[in-house]
Structure 1
């Protein structure tokens, strides 16, 4: 459950929402591109939940592909203008129209670039939801196929993209099979396309992973080797790509969450602006409907209310030790371990609100209470992060011992436990079985059963 991370593409990284000045954040969220995308997200989620047949998925993917290429194309156009302005050159004659601001102001172009970067991630989050649904909410496929660097924005300027789209169209026209394009997602980073065969008379189907070559004479490379490893990990129990000892491990435990609390919290937040409540596992939940809170208090007072209500929640929860807190804000298509917001058991508009950060929630527990809960379940647990250390996604935070084995749990897994409101007894039972059945040399990636009963 530990993993190294690869560098993202070498481009300017847009600031996180939490790092933005409040006035810039307000302009970004209200930008016409962003507001229009929120409406599209609701429709995408509704349409995805209606997908039943290969034809449904093909039509859905075509709509998502069209929106993604349009957003990434607009982003590339603005990037080109920014490069010219930075060099002190004039606007090119074919420059796109700046939707908001002064076309001679570099910062206004950068704002629009940041908006389109967010739009691109939001659409990729929808792609992730498509992948989860197509794989019948079986997390094994995500765990196996996420282990690579992000390919960057999907554009028709890449020869490989054109080839992959043509391959997918051919699979449908000639074989009536749905071929899922990985570059529409953030979570599928190994292989180019997954093809779902037509179900047989027992309603079973083959799922085939393809690494496509634009040049048939090209020798087998590292990417094809990783694709084969991922397929063998899924079907034969082989090692996961990237680590010879990493394996998918079946805990045999049905997955359970407390996401019904999130449903209730957002219902109250829509009416009152915010809602706080306690969640089993000694966790504190705060949900905020930014639009409702803004209407009730105004944005400045809403921010003050957020901090005040969060502080009150901490007092009521009586959390001791260090606070461990994760929030939903700006998380769309950022941590592929976490189920995408589009499949959460919420209304489509609420899922879209989470993707677009007009609905947000935070979940907090204390280091002491967390260890107490897991020890109560029979696990020997301790925090191992050195005091003052900088936390990264792959940073080991927790060590668990049992049955003669030892397991280190990374930061991104703790984030998943909180944001999915995983039932801690369920997780502890799964980890206990993992320690009992896994060799000490193995780097396990556990998965739980019956996740289709949890997600939308």
Structure 2
């Protein structure tokens, strides 16, 4: 697995971000985001998916070629005669090949992030579908060496040529992990959403994957449990979704001019946005780091936060979290969305645990922060317990990450938690969804 950006030495990080493949990918991301926003008909989506498929297969093939070279060099063997051209560095240095492989791993994730944005748009920005279809292991990189991939592509083309239906290929995404293909079939004023698990061997018996498909469908349409062992269910809050993402758009715009910008977000939150290129034009690396820490410390002083600081950042997150809304559909400029995907734009949001508890208390809920001070927030460990209406719900990292990175309106979110407790059932883990969410992302 390629290392996280935070784990890389500064010189390697700089070489990765400035690599020609990474720069080309950043430019291509802008085009994909612009094109996706023009997708309205089945034909639009089919055309878009074909372009994304070609780019994805090319990136994955290029990385596989470099992995083959790395294995040979590590064994002390010579370069293969058909080795690809190394774009930057010494072709006999395994570390230069590793760098290029890491760049292509990032490019592949950036393209899957675009695939996630395509999925969200195709599903009408209905978070329920993502919550239901994400609950499985990743199938790995999409490649034509897999018999199933070829079969899925042929199926999608057949759906278009015979029925004029758009068939979304799940392996182009990170967030759709149950089933192979979703077909969107228009019936006048209505649309059928059909989930397919494709078999290359028709004599195979019903698999665990088919069971997960059945459970996902029941969760979406009859309120049954989501796939998985945790007895999770979707719960409609009925509260209209609201965010303060306009503040993020403004902060990123100012950071493009000034290098970095801090702003306050309604709900006692602090936002810091950094434009790496703009900062690099103003300061050297050491001074840019100092400016970042100085600005962040000043922001926290202005906020006068009490309790534990809750901080989430955008960095290195593209196609790493199946629950996260992809940057490609954020209501920002296409260049800003692409910058977040490629990590040349980053932001952090900070809130205090006391402010969170107080907001819930204003809505009649009894909330308790249970994460010990100084403890790192884990994926499934409880962070806050919320009680009301004779019930309680435990929140972990994922719920807070959504609240923070989407700059959700804190009052609307607290009203949603109140309704969640009113409507939840004992013995079930509720996953809330809000009303009219498409109005935020469309």
Q: Please report the TM-score for the alignment, with normalisation by the length of structure 1.
A: 0.95
What is the rounded CA distance, in whole Å, between the counterparts of 1:152 and 1:393 in structure 2? 21
Give the structure 1 partner of residue 323 of structure 2. 337
| 1:374 CA displacement | 1.9
Could you say if the C-alpha distance between residues 98 and 164 of structure 1 is closer, same or farther in structure 2, counting changes exceeding 3 Å? same
| Structure 1: segments with no counterpart, 5+ residues | 1-12
Select 2:367's aligned residue among 374, 381, 384.
381
SS at match of 1:33: helix
What is the rounded CA distance, in whole Å, between the counterparts of 1:386 and 1:288 in structure 2? 30
Aligned pairs for 1:6-405 (under 5 A) are 13-200=1-188, 203-243=189-229, 245-405=231-391
| 1:245 CA displacement | 2.5
What is the rounded CA distance, in whole Å, between the counterparts of 1:212 and 1:316 in structure 2? 56
Equivalent pair of 1:190/1:226 in contact (CA under 8 Å): yes
Equivalent pair of 1:363/1:419 in contact (CA under 8 Å): yes
| 1:301 CA displacement | 1.5
What is the rounded CA distance, in whole Å, between the counterparts of 2:295 and 2:316 in structure 1? 21
1:424 aligns with 2:419: no
What is the rounded CA distance, in whole Å, between the counterparts of 1:274 and 1:387 in structure 2? 29
| 1:258 CA displacement | 0.6
| 1:377 CA displacement | 2.5
What is the rounded CA distance, in whole Å, between the counterparts of 2:24 and 2:56 in structure 1? 14
| 1:293 CA displacement | 1.0
SS at match of 2:233: strand
1:406 aligns with 2:368: no
SS at match of 1:396: coil
| Structure 2: segments with no counterpart, 5+ residues | none
Superposition RMSD on alpha carbons, in Å? 1.1
Could you say if the C-alpha distance between residues 404 and 385 of structure 1 is closer, same or farther in structure 2, counting changes exceeding 3 Å? same
302-311 vs 139-148, greater mean Cα deviation? 302-311
Q: Please report the TM-score for the alignment, with normalisation by the length of structure 2.
A: 0.98
SS at match of 1:453: helix
SS at match of 1:101: coil
Equivalent pair of 1:194/1:210 in contact (CA under 8 Å): yes
Equivalent pair of 1:335/1:412 in contact (CA under 8 Å): no
What is the rounded CA distance, in whole Å, between the counterparts of 2:244 and 2:376 in structure 1? 30
Equivalent pair of 1:176/1:198 in contact (CA under 8 Å): no
What is the rounded CA distance, in whole Å, between the counterparts of 2:115 and 2:137 in structure 1? 17
